[in-house]
Amino acid sequence: MPDAPRPIFITTPIYYVNDKPHIGHAYTTIVADYLTRALRLLGHEVFFLTGTDEHGAKVAEVARANGMEPKAWCDLHAQHFKDAWKRLDIEYNYFVRTTDQRHEAGVARLLERLHDATDPDGKPVIYEDEYTGLYCLGCEKFITGKELVDGLCPNHLTKPQELRERNYFFRLSAFLPEVQRRISEGSIRVLPEERRNEVLGLFKQGLEDFSISREREKVDWGIPIPWDPTQNAYVWVDALPNYITAIGYGDDPASFARWWTDASIIHIMAKDILKFHAVYWPAMLLAVGERPPQGMFIHGYFTVNGQKMSKSLRNTLDPHRLVDQFGADGTRYLLLTPFPFGMDGDLKADAFVPQYNADLANDLGNLVSRVIALIEKHFGGRQPCPVGIDWENGIAYRLQMPVHSCTHDFAMALRSRIWSFEDDGPDLDRAIRTGMELVRETNRFVEEHQPWNLAKMGRRDELATVLSVAAEAIRRVAIVLSPAIPNKSLEILRALGFENPSTELSIGGLSPVLDGNARGLCPGPFHLDGPIFPRLEKPESTRTERITVSESSTPENVITIDEFKKAQLRTAEVIAAERVEGANRLLKLQIAIGEERRQIVAGIAEHYKPEDLIGKTIIVVANLQPATVRGVASQGMLLAASKGKTLRLLTADGPLESGATIS
Virtual CA dihedral for 102, 104, 108, 109, nearest 10 degrees? Answer: 20
Residue pair 73/59 in contact by the 8 Å Cβ criterion: yes
Virtual CA dihedral for 90, 94, 98, 101, nearest 10 degrees? Answer: 150
Angstrom distance (rounded) from CA 350 to CA 541: 7
How many C-beta atoms surround the C-beta of residue 65 within 10 A?
17
Closest CA to 470 of 492, 434, 450, 443: 443
- 229-233, 340-344, 417-421: least confidently modelled range: 417-421
pLDDT tens, residue by residue, 129-164: 987 767 776 666 667 666 777 778 776 677 777 777
CA separation (Å) from 252 to 244, 245, 294? 10, 9, 22
For residue 407, what pLDDT band results from cuts at 50, 70 and 90? low
**At residue 112, does pLDDT exceed 90?**
yes
Please give the average per-residue pLDDT across 495-508, as a whole number. 81
**At residue 554, does pLDDT exceed 60?**
no
Classify each residue of 450-486 as buried b or exposed e, where b means 16 or more C-beta atoms within 10 Å of its C-beta: ebeebbeeeeeebbbbbbbbbbbbbbbbbbbbbbbbb
pLDDT value for 622: 87
CA separation (Å) from 280 to 233, 293, 631? 15, 12, 35
Q: Pick 431 or 235 by higher pLDDT.
A: 235
- 48-62, 159-173, 332-346, 499-513: least confidently modelled range: 499-513
For residue 445, what pLDDT band results from cuts at 50, 70 and 90? confident
pLDDT value for 389: 54
H/E element holding 62? helix 57-65
Residue pair 260/247 in contact by the 8 Å Cβ criterion: yes
pLDDT value for 176: 97
Angstrom distance (rounded) from CA 339 to CA 104: 39
Tell how strand 587-593 and strand 307-308 pair up.
Answer: unpaired
H/E element holding 10? strand 8-16
Contacts of 184 (CB under 8 A, 6+ apart): 200
The residues that are catalytic are 22, 25, 136, 139, 153, 156, 308, 311
Using the 8-state DSSP alphabet, how is residue 557 labeled? S
pLDDT value for 627: 77
pLDDT tens, residue by residue, 264-285: 999 999 888 999 999 999 999 9
Please give the average per-residue pLDDT across 278-300, as a whole number. 94
**At residue 422, does pLDDT exceed 50?**
no
Using the 8-state DSSP alphabet, how is residue 305 labeled? T
Amino acid symbol at 567: A
Using CB atoms within 10 A of its CB, is residue 448 exposed (0-12), middle (13-18) or buried (19+)? exposed
Mean pLDDT of the chain, nearest integer: 83
What is the separation, in whole angstroms, between the first and last Cα of the chain? 59
